[in-house]
Structure 1
Amino acid sequence: MTTSDGSGELLELLYGVLRGVRRDAAARLELQGTTPGQLRLLRTLERCDGPRRLGELAAALDVAPRSVTSKVDLAEEHGLVRRLPDPTDRRATLLELTPEGRSLLAAISAQRHEGAAERLGRLSGDEQAELLRLLRIVGQDTAPGDPGA
């Protein structure tokens, strides 16, 4: 599905590359014993400025609280997160990453970079530089009607 202006081909190529990257990442996650959903939970927790309630995590992930509970149970079982009592509400529980959880995130990040480097390695150094230069241009956010658009 290409159009005369190339936008269809651009979309197909971008989607294809992203599908390949996601497929590679999912395979690597499986080797680490985790899933994309589990990774999303850990990453969300990593971006927080401290321990979070499960309800806050569910809202941030845009999922039902009970689905977060099952992911948290599994992550806790693997030593990736720990539950803490909430000092402001004795009935509530907070969740934080453990050092093991942080190590797993670092390992996965390194693997993702290796995968991207493998894909870029198909190109010469000049081709890599040109691809990145062009993607920066295409990726710039400009509003319709802006001179840069």
Structure 2
Amino acid sequence: MTRCDSVTAVNNEDRSGELLELLHGVLHGVRRDAAARLELSGTTPGQLRLLRTLERCDGPRRLGELAAALDVAPRSVTSKVDLAEEHGLVRRLPDPTDRRATLLELTDDGRRLLAAISAQRHEGVAERLGRLSEEDQAELLRLLRAVAD
């Protein structure tokens, strides 16, 4: 490796390290802001994850299926479900194919909460983007798309 090549390699490494740090910092800030807003709604990040997972399903799901989708122990899903049910965000239904099993579905209140939280998250990100001019926002998005491809 020539002197120029080693300088280029160091610069590329510095840039990739800076990119990683900046992306981590931005995402951490977005998550921190979202968690603060989430706390105001009385919902935990784990409970939100449960609700989002259930929202993506094409219908009611068994608790075991949700635990597998969330990659957690079934007993930890049960406590999240109990709390969500207590708040009217989900409801348990008998499984028509197995009398011993229970299905879980989102309620209308659960769907409204997810929509409100999504809107709040978008507002938070829009506030961050608002620190930039319109041109800089467009350029940032263009560059991120190029890096993402």
**TM-score, normalised relative to structure 2:** 0.92
Q: Which of 29, 45, 69 pairs up with 1:60?
A: 69
- Counterpart of 1:136? 145
CA distance in 1, matches of 2:47, 2:145: 30
CA distance in 2, matches of 1:138, 1:33: 37
CA distance in 1, matches of 2:21, 2:47: 28
1:77 aligns with 2:66: no
1:96 aligns with 2:84: no
CA distance in 2, matches of 1:104, 1:16: 27
> Which is greater in Rg?
2
The amino acid of 1:10's aligned partner reads: L
Aligned residues: 138
1:45 aligns with 2:74: no
- 1:4 is paired with a residue whose SS is helix
1:17 aligns with 2:26: yes
1:117 aligns with 2:126: yes
CA RMSD of aligned residues (A): 0.5
**Which of structure 1's runs of 4+ aligned residues deviate more than 6 A?**
none
The amino acid of 2:133's aligned partner reads: S
- Counterpart of 2:11? 4
- 1:67 is paired with a residue whose SS is helix
Q: What is the aligned-residue identity percentage?
A: 88
CA distance in 1, matches of 2:29, 2:132: 17
CA offset digits 1:87-144 (Å, max 9, x no partner): 000000000000000000000000000001000000000000000000001011xxxx
Q: Flag the structure with more relative contact order, 1 or 2, with Cα contacts below 8 A and sequence separation at least 6.
A: 2
Shift of 1:29: 0.2
**TM-score, normalised relative to structure 1:** 0.92
- 2:101 is paired with a residue whose SS is strand
CA distance in 2, matches of 1:109, 1:103: 10
Greater helix share, 1 or 2? 2
Shift of 1:4: 1.7
Structure 2 unaligned residues grouped into runs of 5+: 1-9
